[in-house]
Structure 1
Amino acid sequence: MLLQVRGIISTIGWRDIFDILLVAVLLYKLYMMIKDTRALTLLKGLVVLLVATLVSKWLGLNVINWLLQKSMTVVLVALPIVFQPELRKALEQLGRGRLFGRSGILNEEEAQNLLDETIKAVTVLAKNKIGALLVFEREMRLNDYVDTGIKVDGIVSSEFLTNIFIPNSPLHDGAVIVRGNRVTAAGCILPLTDDPTLGKELGTRHRAALGISEQTDAIIVVVSEETGIISVAEGGRLSRYVEPAKLKDFLRPLYSAKGSPLSDFFNWRSSS
């Protein structure tokens, strides 16, 4: 047995190692793309179906095995349709040369423009006491929450963000989800926090910001409709009274290759 193992190891060359590592990286990228999306649930269902097919064959359950095999054929034909968003995203990233990089990383010019436009919009919204809820996606995909709103897919600009939250406009209620430097959707519904210690003066927007921050790694910016106070939520914590000039410090790591956790920026102010 030991000799057989040594024999197998001796036949492995550097090309084989490279081949294995490349397949591992591709599988990891595939997993990261479908992580926290409905596609992952569908993939789990496919695995269950495959296991059931193998078990039924092993047990000699011919009728069930035949039905499962036919079902597998239909599923394999339907896979390109089911995974169309993920396949499209992979091809887009491949065409942009970003397949092996973080999708949230922008080049320096794009990142600076996004930060400037976001701060301009938040400043205007706060000055005029216009309520706003901005969700900045990080590694964890927010597709399930995107589906609750209206898909937009527009470049972030101060005028665009301001107009979305203008009172009585079609999309002013709900949250805006930002992916990279694009507004993915508006009018999105977010889960509310169950934290009983949250101050009663904080309304639905703040509770939604905390709720989504408890369940994902997103960074959320809130503008109070009553006071114009700017708050930022991350990891189930809320930082209030954030000055527009300081907002860039909260958001910059999102679009930096050296992106570090934002926890250092947050000071919990439960009494605020």
Structure 2
Amino acid sequence: MGLEFLKELFLNIRIRDIIDIGIVAFAFYKIFMLIRETRAEQLVKGIIVLLIGTKVSEWLELFATNWILEKTMTVGVIALLIVFQPELRRALEYIGRTKFFTKSLIEIEDEDIDHIVEEIVEAVASLSRQKIGALIVIERETGLNEVTETGTKINGKISSGLLINIFIPNTPLHDGAVIIKDSTIKAAGCFLPLTENMNLSKDLGTRHRAALGITERSDSLAIIVSEETGVISIADNGKLSRYLDIKTLRQILKELYMSKKVLKPTLFSKWRKKDEESQGQ
């Protein structure tokens, strides 16, 4: 009986059914990739447990337990919209950043890109040598106007001298973030949202947490220079890559500016330090 059913099922399957299954599978895969290693992953596991518990209590005729679980699931739909708000926003931004809806990342010549990259690299290298803390955020497809409004607008051409002067200690703008869009320093002294990741080393300072926070909420790239050690780090897609050298930083920035599509979250994985103890510095 079972074999006959499967045989009939496969014989009657249509091309549109295969396409339909493929779309659903692709959608579930993308959803999984979006929530992987986020708090949403744990929430999804909790929902699955509730669904299983509801069915099991129904089969075993545990009426009180089943009634409580059903009511919890009903109210939970509204609660999910509230709890998953950051993840839903991230998913919608991800859809909006697809090439179908967006134009190329930048519209500048290759020689200009080399100049921009060298100016940023020179500034970061100088700040690192002097152990001057810095936080530079490079905007991609997701606009950062709401962040720019929290700081002082500059709208100046990127130069190493300007970047270094912004972060000189005891100056008005040194304690915030610099926002860069294409070849322009949009603003300085900006306030960034802190990460909600509770698993980070407690030794990580506010700059690193702010860099992770802005990259969790947008597709931007953040460069951090530690004030205590001069270590250069990069935050991307809510992940932190530490102990970068100047050559690696230059390569990453060139790839960012040369690419005509949004860079994949795994771009920096080969430079990311897996040892969590190393984040204590």
- Mapped pair 1:211 → 2:217: no
Name stretches of at least 5 consecutive residues in structure 2 with no aligned partner.
1-101
TM-score w.r.t. structure 1 length?
0.61
Structure 1 distance, partners of 2:219, 2:103, is: 18
| Equivalent in 264, 268, 278 of residue 265 of structure 1 | 268
Structure 2 distance, partners of 1:138, 1:212, is: 12
Partner of 2:251: 249
Partner of 1:72: none
Q: Deviations over 1:174-223 (max 9, x none)?
A: 10000001100000000001211111221000000000010000000000
Residues 217-228 of structure 1: pairs in structure 2 closer than 5 A: 217-228=219-230
Q: What code does the residue aligned with 1:233 have?
A: A
**Aligned partners of 1:117 and 1:156 also within 8 Å:** yes
TM-score w.r.t. structure 2 length?
0.59
Report how far residue 252 of structure 1 moved.
Answer: 1.6
CA RMSD, 1 decimal? 1.5
Q: How many residues align?
A: 173
Structure 2 distance, partners of 1:162, 1:255, is: 21
**Aligned partners of 2:237 and 2:265 also within 8 Å:** no
Distance 1:105 1:201, change over 3 A: farther
Name stretches of at least 5 consecutive residues in structure 1 with no aligned partner.
1-99
Q: Deviations over 1:8-59 (max 9, x none)?
A: xxxxxxxxxxxxxxxxxxxxxxxxxxxxxxxxxxxxxxxxxxxxxxxxxxxx
**Aligned partners of 2:106 and 2:260 also within 8 Å:** no
Q: What code does the residue aligned with 1:198 have?
A: L
Structure 2 distance, partners of 1:120, 1:200, is: 30
Partner of 1:179: 181
Residues 45-84 of structure 1: pairs in structure 2 closer than 5 A: none
Report how far residue 101 of structure 1 moved.
Answer: 4.5
What secondary structure does 1:271 align onto? helix
Structure 1 distance, partners of 2:273, 2:141, is: 24
Partner of 1:113: 115
